[in-house]
Amino acid sequence: MSSPALFQPIDFGGLTLPNRIVIAPMCQYSAKDGCMNDWHLIHLGHLALSGAGMLTIEATAVEPEGRITYADVGLWDDATEAAMARVLEGVRAWSSMPLAIQLAHAGRKASCDLPWLGGAQIAPDAPNGWQTVAPSALPFDPADNAPAALDRAGMERIRDAFAEAARRSARLGYDAVQVHGAHGYLLHEFLSPLSNRRTDEYGGSLENRMRFPLEVFDAVRAAFPADRPVSMRVSGTEWVEGGWDIEQTCVFARELEARGCAAINVSSGGGDIRQQIPAGPSFQVPLARAVKAAVSMPVVAVGLITGFEQAETIVATGDADMVGLARTVLYNPRWPWHAAAALGAKVHGPDQYRRSWPRGVGDLFA
């Protein structure tokens, strides 16, 4: 059997990942005051034994008002940093998997209830709610409380909070940082002509709409050690006529690459309630393919990638350099083991589980 492309190592900004499977960031809505706890140790602990090439920690808010919900993880003070350090110590004691953290600000989509409680926006004067901010005072849903339009001081505060969280991430020993520029959260809100109606140098033309996300990227890049990668997650399109689209994404990707971005993770949607998402297997792969044609940094495809051959084909045909997995790896946290067994490759796994291999699987661990 020829060596599968999915299990070839890859250079990610100077970091060598053992294979092309990255676990996408997944909010757990289980923190208290931004602090991780034993849930995160259990959740990240088992994903860190999955054999993936890298594990991305969930959207981590750079300030309390940047949380999607009151139970989001944060990294804005010594208490949130100490709670995260404890979880990482536990994970690292038993896994050598490279760890990335996604730094985020939810913008106008902050101050919401937990998804399993309906996920509705919580009014600023209700318990667990706060006033949201955005490029312009336009609510995501017309029924929502409108966000406050950020002034320059507010933008600088948030940019500096991203940089401070990147410094804390460096201290925590993260191998990489991913900046969250997707899914209708703050940086995406600046990019999109639908949510950004500013008349200053941060709104209007594509160059102006990209300005704040690029400033945040630069601040994070400068704050995180130069020998460790910083990447960006984007929505390749918001699936709405007249909105952020793949052509603008490619321009943005080139700007990021010129600034030292190590990789780009291409998701989609989340910016506008009118979105019509053609969800289906590999539905975002064409977006990754388009970005890949525009840049030379590694591109990650994500979204309903569930099959081993499906993932192998995406990498082998060059549609993307890596695949991101979210729901499928929650459902089957040993997905990379099973992919390796099916495709004839090996993964890093714990010695304690060596006796688990069924007859015919052979020596699965590298």
Ligand X SMILES: Cc1cc2nc3c(=O)[nH]c(=O)nc-3n(C[C@H](O)[C@H](O)[C@H](O)COP(=O)(O)O)c2cc1C
Q: Is the dihedral of CA 105, 109, 111, 117 positive or negative?
A: negative
Nearest to 252 by CA among 220, 212, 194: 212
Nearer to ligand X, 109 or 180 (CB): 180
Site for ligand X in 196-255 (CB under 6 A): 233
Q: Extract the tokens encoding 12.
A: 């990610």
Nearest to 184 by CA among 175, 195, 193, 170: 195
Q: 324, 302 in Cβ contact below 8 A?
A: yes
Identity of the residue numbered 75: L
Nearest to 249 by CA among 238, 259, 262, 261: 238
- Rule CB under 6 A: say whether 269 interacts with ligand X: no
CB of 33 to ligand X, least distance (A): 18
Bridge partners, 149 (sequence order)? 134
Radius of gyration, alpha carbons of the chain: 20
Q: Which of 29, 70, 185, 202 is catalytic?
A: 185
Write the CB contacts of 295 (distance below 8 Å, at least 6 apart in sequence).
250, 253, 254, 257, 264
Nearer to ligand X, 27 or 87 (CB): 27
- Rule CB under 6 A: say whether 102 interacts with ligand X: yes
- Rule CB under 6 A: say whether 180 interacts with ligand X: yes
* 331 assigned to active site: no
- How many residues at the interface with ligand X, by CB under 6 A? 20
CB of 201 to ligand X, least distance (A): 28
Nearer to ligand X, 153 or 267 (CB): 267
Quick one: which of 40, 183, 209, 221 contacts ligand X (CB under 6 A)? 183
CB of 267 to ligand X, least distance (A): 5
CB of 306 to ligand X, least distance (A): 7
Nearer to ligand X, 159 or 183 (CB): 183
Nearer to ligand X, 3 or 56 (CB): 56
Bridge partners, 57 (sequence order)? 101
CB-CB neighbours of 125 under 10 Å: 9
- Rule CB under 6 A: say whether 325 interacts with ligand X: yes
Site for ligand X in 48-67 (CB under 6 A): 58-59
Interacting span for ligand X (CB under 6 A) from 81-89, 155-163, 177-185, 187-195? 177-185
- Rule CB under 6 A: say whether 188 interacts with ligand X: no
CB of 330 to ligand X, least distance (A): 7
- Rule CB under 6 A: say whether 267 interacts with ligand X: yes
CB of 257 to ligand X, least distance (A): 20
Hey, is 9 helix, strand or coil?
coil
Nearer to ligand X, 59 or 165 (CB): 59
CA distances from 25 to 139, 143, 192, 365 (A): 25, 29, 22, 25
Cα(first)–Cα(last) distance of the chain, in Å? 17
Nearer to ligand X, 97 or 325 (CB): 325
CB of 186 to ligand X, least distance (A): 13
Question: What is d(CA 34, CA 351) in angstroms, rounded to the nearest whole number?
Answer: 34
Nearer to ligand X, 172 or 182 (CB): 182
CB of 352 to ligand X, least distance (A): 27
Nearest to 8 by CA among 19, 21, 22: 19
Contact map string, positions 2 to 41, toward ligand X, x by CB under 6 A = ----------------------xxxx--------------
- Rule CB under 6 A: say whether 303 interacts with ligand X: yes
Question: What is d(CA 294, CA 240) in angstroms, rounded to the nearest whole number?
Answer: 22
Write the CB contacts of 113 (distance below 8 Å, at least 6 apart in sequence).
69, 119, 120, 121, 122, 128
Which residues contact ligand X by CB under 6 A?
24-27, 58-59, 102, 180, 182-183, 233, 267, 302-305, 325-328
Catalytic residue annotation? 185
